[in-house]
Amino acid sequence: MGRKPRIEFDGALYHIIQRGNNKECIFSNNLHKNYFISKMKEFKETMNFDVYGYVIMDNHYHIVLRRHEKKLSSIMQKLNNDYSKYYNNFYNRTGHVFQGRYKGILVRDEKYLLSLLRYVHQNPVRANICKNVFNYYWSSDPYYRRNLHRQLVDIDLILNIFSSDRKTAIEEYCKFMDASELEESSNFEDLHIIGDIK
């Protein structure tokens, strides 16, 4: 029996999770992380989607994105296929790079979105790679702290939730991200995938 298609609609906001096949470290080389981020930026421009957050870990990634006219499945197929070809070519290998289908979890409200972004940014802290969110280079956190808008990450939506004054918004964002408590993974990863049967 085939899998049910994912439910999608224009303007929907998703939390995407994709792991390396057999939990392999497919981003252990910083060149690989750079390549993936550059392709995300390229496809964002050509396929018109918004990126609100991401983190690239050694064996998986998280992206928080909003799709518009292009289907999420088309965006993810393009991104994952391109990276798989690059990775296999780099190591002169064949076979699957990613483990099955990506998870695509619908984000329904602002409070959840803020906690989700903190969870995404806390991944390296949770993995004991660094002590603080701001110490990890391969995430969207620096875009917010440095007010880097009109680039890969669309920071306005999140910062405007904190305050309409940008300086205050960044200060409040930093306080929120730098909180000592860690978000529970079960609140963000153990949810039903859009289109899956409950």
pLDDT in the model for residue 194: 44
Query: Confidence class of residue 107 from pLDDT cuts 50, 70 and 90?
Result: very high
Phi, psi of 161 (to 5 degrees): -65, -35
Measure the CA–CA gap between 119 and 62, rounded to whole angstroms. Answer: 10
Domain containing 174 equals: 13-189
In Å, what is the CA distance from 134 to each residue of 20, 70, 154, 192? 25, 32, 18, 30
pLDDT digits (tens, 9 = 90+) for 20-34: 999 899 999 999 999
| Domain membership flag for residue 117 | yes
**Bridge partners (DSSP) listed for residue 49:** 67
Contact 21, 96 (CB under 8 A): yes
Query: Confidence class of residue 1 from pLDDT cuts 50, 70 and 90?
Result: very low
| Domain membership flag for residue 198 | no
| Domain membership flag for residue 197 | no
pLDDT digits (tens, 9 = 90+) for 140-174: 999 999 999 888 999 999 999 999 999 999 999 99
Please count the structural domains in the chain.
1
pLDDT in the model for residue 38: 97
**Beta carbons within 10 angstroms of residue 133's beta carbon:** 23
| Domain membership flag for residue 194 | no
pLDDT in the model for residue 3: 52
| Domain membership flag for residue 159 | yes
For residue 112, what are its two tokens? 């959840």
| Domain membership flag for residue 4 | no
For residue 100, what are its two tokens? 């099955």
Q: Taking the CA atoms of the chain, what radius of gyration do you get in angstroms? A: 16
pLDDT digits (tens, 9 = 90+) for 124-140: 999 999 999 999 999 99
In Å, what is the CA distance from 54 to each residue of 3, 14, 101? 27, 12, 18
pLDDT digits (tens, 9 = 90+) for 62-77: 999 999 999 999 999 9
Query: Confidence class of residue 192 from pLDDT cuts 50, 70 and 90?
Result: low
| Domain membership flag for residue 98 | yes
| Domain membership flag for residue 49 | yes
Task: Report the CATH number at residue 122.
Answer: 3.30.70.1290
Contact 99, 31 (CB under 8 A): no
pLDDT in the model for residue 196: 39
